[in-house]
Structure 1
Amino acid sequence: MDADAARQFWNSRYDRPDYLFGEAPNAFLASQSGRLTPGLTALVIADGEGRNGVWLAERGLTVTTTDIAPRAVEKALALAARRGVSLAARVTDLDQWDWPEAAFDLVVAIFIQFAAPDARDRLFARMKAALKPGGLILLQGYRPQQIAYGTGGPPQVENLYTESLLRDAFADFDIVHLGSHDSDISEGAGHAGRSALIDLVARRP
């Protein structure tokens, strides 16, 4: 799917009165709250309607949030305003974006599996370069077993993650945590039910 088609697809999915993936943060991200301190800088990529970026801003982080869909970013800013926090929000195609380098303490990537393998390699490289030394990647995605559950995520198995794929992709980082689990999630209408998940916390040396 090219950038224009992706923008139209996600704009249409987000053009609804409620929030497609809910307004609460992703459970894995919320479980990492002990790693967060006020004043840290965070980049949340493909953040959709902003649930994760807003939650980080509520914890005192300085947050840049991105999405390809203008409607999503509009809703993210509205959510931030309702919660009394601010976001630096960017409408951007991540494959064409002029990524900041060594600029963030945290890069958050929750369910970014729109990226096919070639694009994923570029995306992971740019995520790593965007971190300051000592900064953290917080990533959650679906494993191939998710296709059988049918409770969210892309139908392309090549877009899904395995432990070996992530271990290889982040071999130049210190892997703090890498784990697979099947869990029930409830994230709006978009992600609901038993899901085959994988979590990564990795630190830039």
Structure 2
Amino acid sequence: MADGLNAASTHWDDRYSGAAFFYGTAPNDFLAEHHRLLAGPVLSLSEGEGRNAVFLAQRGLDVLGVDLSEVGLRKAEQLAAERGVHIRTLCADLATYTPQAEQFGAVISIFAHLPSSLRQRLYPLVVRSLKPGGIFLLEAYSLDQLPRSTGGPKDADMLMSVDKIRAEWPTLEPLLLRETEREVREGQGHTGLAAVVQFIGRKPA
């Protein structure tokens, strides 16, 4: 497991090591459209270089960005400082990370593609970490993205679907759940027409 962790950490450190922001500095479109549903504190899974955490902090929310890459999180803190806001960051592996129970008003997962074995462990902990009435917001590439070259992993297990969401988030009330196609233009990492799953779920009060 340690070798796998080190390899994954190195992969993302390398990806984020350039001067440019690999996925840009603008927030994810789906998050930007629905951010008013979110209350703090907000937990951002696989935050990367900070674009989404900084966007939410600029709107007055307390945000904790968790990511495997120390390089990415340093850039996230740099971006926050440049934008005149503060974010909290934690370098952690989502395979072992355990968020505190009933701590967050919202949790976001933006293109945080995880293997099903990891999701089975993490997602119940995420639900537990939400306060009653808290919101979970996710956008991920769908299975229809597999043959495309516009972003996302080339592993069907890590891609999402409406059926997977329903099975893996059974206790959340779905406010929005759909598979759709849209233009995703986020730096050099996500570039063009893509097949995505979008989900907003609410924990019962």
For Structure 1 versus Structure 2, the TM-score category normalised by the shorter chain is over 0.9
- 2:177 maps to 1:175: no
Q: Name the CA distance, whole Å, in 2 between partners of 1:184 and 1:98.
A: 34
* Sequence identity (%): 34
Count of residues paired in the alignment: 202
Mean CA deviation greater in 118-127 or 46-55: 118-127
Which residue in 2 is equivalent to 1:18?
20
Q: Name the CA distance, whole Å, in 1 between partners of 2:202 and 2:98.
A: 22
Amino acid at match of 1:179: R
**CA drift at 1:98:** 3.4
**CA drift at 1:33:** 2.7
Amino acid at match of 1:8: T
Q: Name the CA distance, whole Å, in 2 between partners of 1:31 and 1:55.
A: 12
Which residue in 2 is equivalent to 1:28?
30
Which residue in 2 is equivalent to 1:87?
87
Q: Name the CA distance, whole Å, in 2 between partners of 1:42 and 1:126.
A: 15
Q: Name the CA distance, whole Å, in 2 between partners of 1:98 and 1:34.
A: 26
Which residue in 2 is equivalent to 1:44?
44
Which residue in 1 is equivalent to 2:10?
8
Q: Name the CA distance, whole Å, in 1 between partners of 2:124 and 2:4.
A: 20
**CA drift at 1:35:** 1.4
Amino acid at match of 2:144: Q
Amino acid at match of 2:85: V
4+ residue stretches of structure 1 with deviation over 3 A?
A: none
Q: Name the CA distance, whole Å, in 2 between partners of 1:118 and 1:182.
A: 27
**CA drift at 1:112:** 0.9
Q: Name the CA distance, whole Å, in 2 between partners of 1:165 and 1:98.
A: 22
Which residue in 1 is equivalent to 2:72?
72
Alignment of 1:130-141 (within 5 A): 130-141=129-140
Which residue in 1 is equivalent to 2:106?
106
> Deviations 1:15-34 (Å, cap 9, x if unpaired)?
00000000000000001033
Q: Name the CA distance, whole Å, in 2 between partners of 1:36 and 1:173.
A: 15
CA RMSD of aligned residues (A): 1.1
Secondary structure in structure 1 of the residue aligned to 2:98: coil
Which residue in 1 is equivalent to 2:158?
159
**CA drift at 1:148:** 1.6
Q: Name the CA distance, whole Å, in 1 between partners of 2:203 and 2:38.
A: 16
Q: Name the CA distance, whole Å, in 1 between partners of 2:158 and 2:56.
A: 27
Question: Which TM-score applies when normalising by structure 1?
Answer: 0.95
Unaligned runs of 5+ in 1: none
**CA drift at 1:75:** 0.1
Q: Name the CA distance, whole Å, in 2 between partners of 1:9 and 1:30.
A: 28
> Deviations 1:130-182 (Å, cap 9, x if unpaired)?
11110000000011110122211100011111101101211111111101111
Q: Name the CA distance, whole Å, in 2 between partners of 1:31 and 1:89.
A: 24
Amino acid at match of 1:73: L
Amino acid at match of 1:98: T
Secondary structure in structure 1 of the residue aligned to 2:46: coil
